[in-house]
A and B are shown apart, each in its own frame.
Chain A
């Protein structure tokens, strides 16, 4: 409330000055006054406005003070702008749109943004300096008095906080923490991001919803930004709580936030063959046995692992045992799979897919089965040749030796 009143008081000052300037033309100020009484922006006239008419500046630094030229309901006019009361050794420049300016013009019912660039010499003595910004046109002239106090540097200050400091997941999950970093100091700072985590953890920072990895980000004075920390624990890590300390630092200011990964155990099935080869042979119509090994590379036991397989049409596949009640971590269990190619199968390579599925994880493996045909027909062929030879021998016996 108090702030509002101050603002009004500040606003009142130019109005008064304007009133004095326009004394020769009584009806207009009257209208303006009437309008100002009802709604502030509706007050006709020209104004120079700034948020903070009294500011702190630091020796040896440049401070930019934003203000604007506001035109309410009067015809636009070129106003020459200047600054009075610049202390000796100081350098104050009027800027508009980043460039030094000497005049400004505000359209009706609009404003022009202007800046004061104040270079305070290093050796400036503490105390307050009053300066006045003048805007002077053909018909009007307005002032904006300001007070610049040379003050001690405000120490940089950062704050970091998160709403969800503890996440639960498995060793395969990635843990995403959203943290809000606030720059509580008087100026923009580039904040370096770091995380202290147990060995082999991977941490990456991204900005808000962005995808680019960052290691630092600039934050304007008083503003706060969201960053995201993604933590990937190593796969083989045991279940437990793992703290990660997220640290932000800039210009000597630091802030940290501890987040916690609550890693729960998880089973990870593996499915290979006993000798590691995922291929085998089978004869047409004959059952071939292969030894599969179901293992658990995870950190928690897997219950009720059921074996299944998909084979070409008319083939048969059986597992022994069909189900494994439980596979503990680092345990390996053998499963015999019996594949019977169809009687009509043609020699060549086929793919059979075996699958081990349990609660929590499943794994399938493609097995390349080379189907061979029986040598029976080869024997028959030799038999046919033998018969042909017998015919020949019979002919020799009957008609031979002449």
Chain B
């Protein structure tokens, strides 16, 4: 078995003539957080449902943990945790009862399930409301309960569909922390979202969905390189020197743009921080800041779709 927990090859879903998912190839590696990004209706949820065997594929193949969700959905679902968009629980039951029901469906032995449920609830800080009815829970608490379900399930892969939608910033922060916690526990996480900045912070790799196709895939930096054509943007702040002039001739530096009073934005095709610092200092300038600029996924996204629009 390869190191991929999910492998999709030419995965296809047709609704009549419409191609909801158009022959995508996708690999998700063990222990990474993978983001499925794209506007609503781009085919993210359909892809997820196909991976879980909850909807039929129209073509191609998909393998989850070595199982075919089309033929062995029970094996897949036993190992994969799923947190649907706006997850629902039985309101008349308590958090613990809801998880107990899931535990029964998972055929977890009774004596084991109690401990696992409490552990999972503690994990998501819901242990103090374990015996409260879910009807009283806020949206964020429900999402956390969904995470708890995945924890209790001891899933190897967690698939989270729009986990942060409709949450306030604090709840979002908490939830992302929990997703990181999942990763720490060795769980491969596949999450879909249309909220880029939040996802960016946790995702190791992302796939950009557009009209049923994966437009771009890779780390955020790779995407930025691909879309923005830049590998390593730097922010340089210095005084007493014209940085643009000083950096002329430094190998790898492609572009130097002024970014305000005493600030320049440097674009290079490799990590040129050491060379830049040396040049400025040797030119007699006072270097006050040299930082690696994170490429913004938002930027990539906007840029990419603008490009698409132009192409169209």
Contact = CB atoms under 8 A, between A and B. Distances in A.
A363 B4 CA distance: 99
B218 interface: no
Interface in B223-278: none
B73 interface: yes
A402 B54 CA distance: 6
Nearest to A401: B73
Contacts of A401: 73
A351 B110 CA distance: 66
Nearest to B74: A401
Contacts of B73: 401-402
Interface string B288-304: 00000000000000000
Interface string B46-85: 0000000010100000000000000001000000000000
Interface string A359-402: 00000000000000000000000000000000000000000011
A401 B73 CA distance: 9
A402 B69 CA distance: 10
Interface residues of B, number: 3
B67 to A, nearest CB: 14
B170 to A, nearest CB: 38
A76 to B, nearest CB: 126
B247 to A, nearest CB: 61
A397 to B, nearest CB: 15
B78 to A, nearest CB: 14
Contacts of B56: 402
Interface string A206-229: 000000000000000000000000
Nearest to B71: A401
A381 to B, nearest CB: 36
Interface residues on A, range: under 10
B53 to A, nearest CB: 8
Interface in B123-154: none
B105 to A, nearest CB: 15
A401 B54 CA distance: 10
A207 B157 CA distance: 120
A401 B70 CA distance: 10
A258 to B, nearest CB: 106
B29 to A, nearest CB: 29
B230 to A, nearest CB: 47
Contacts of B54: 402
Nearest to B56: A402
A402 B56 CA distance: 8
A402 B70 CA distance: 9
A402 B73 CA distance: 8
Nearest to B54: A402
A400 to B, nearest CB: 12
Interface string B30-58: 00000000000000000000000010100
A78 B73 CA distance: 145
A402 B50 CA distance: 11
Contacts of A402: 54, 56, 73
B82 to A, nearest CB: 15
A206 B54 CA distance: 107
Interface string A4-27: 000000000000000000000000
A399 to B, nearest CB: 11
B62 to A, nearest CB: 16
A401 B77 CA distance: 13
A104 to B, nearest CB: 124
A193 B297 CA distance: 142
A42 to B, nearest CB: 133
B70 to A, nearest CB: 11
A401 B56 CA distance: 11
A43 to B, nearest CB: 136
B14 to A, nearest CB: 17
Interface in A70-116: none
Interface in B174-216: none
A301 to B, nearest CB: 86
B218 to A, nearest CB: 34
A285 B54 CA distance: 58
A401 B72 CA distance: 10
A224 B175 CA distance: 136
A27 to B, nearest CB: 146
B139 to A, nearest CB: 29
Interface string B149-177: 00000000000000000000000000000
Interface in A20-37: none
A119 B311 CA distance: 170
A196 B54 CA distance: 111
B60 to A, nearest CB: 19
A97 B166 CA distance: 137
A402 B57 CA distance: 12
A359 to B, nearest CB: 87
A342 B56 CA distance: 60
B49 to A, nearest CB: 11
Interface string A318-337: 00000000000000000000
A111 to B, nearest CB: 123
4 contacts: A401-B73, A402-B54, A402-B56, A402-B73
CB-CB nearest 4 A-B residue pairs: A401-B73, A402-B54, A402-B56, A402-B73
Interface of B: 54, 56, 73
